[in-house]
Amino acid sequence: MHPHDLIRKNLELVATRAPDLTARFYDRLFERHPELRGMFGRRSAEAQQRMLLEAIVAVVDHLEDAAWLGETLGALGAKHVDYGVRDEMYPLVGSALVATLADVSGDEWDAETEAAWTAALTFVAETMIAGAESARRVAAE
């Protein structure tokens, strides 16, 4: 199965099994990295969770659309500079999300699904970081 299809299939599974997926993710992230909690105080927890889920769904819906991904994720990375997000934080977020997906997936999780999600989230992080670096360069000029 193509990695994009694995991701779509898994997202459908976890959304059915755990409508509170993003709440579980934030619980795990803040348990692992309590220092990040303060970065998420601008919005209610519910609003933040909804925004994350919408972002995940949008990215998964556009996995084959490189132009959309580059533009959207680059802009998102630039916006996250204003939130104080540093490049080294992206792997922490990705790791917590993969662990949450694995937990919810249970016996439906396998090495192929993990590899597909890890590759996709690495691409998301790299694209957002490129957008952040571009925003920092513009700000420095």
**CA–CA separation, 30 vs 83, rounded Å?**
17
The DSSP 8-state label assigned to residue 109 in this structure reads -
Q: Max Cα separation, the chain?
A: 51
Cβ partners under 8 Å of residue 14, min gap 6: 21, 101, 104, 105
* Positions marked active-site: 90, 133
**CA–CA separation, 7 vs 105, rounded Å?**
12
The SS3 assignment for 102 reads: helix
Cβ partners under 8 Å of residue 69, min gap 6: 59, 62, 63, 123, 127
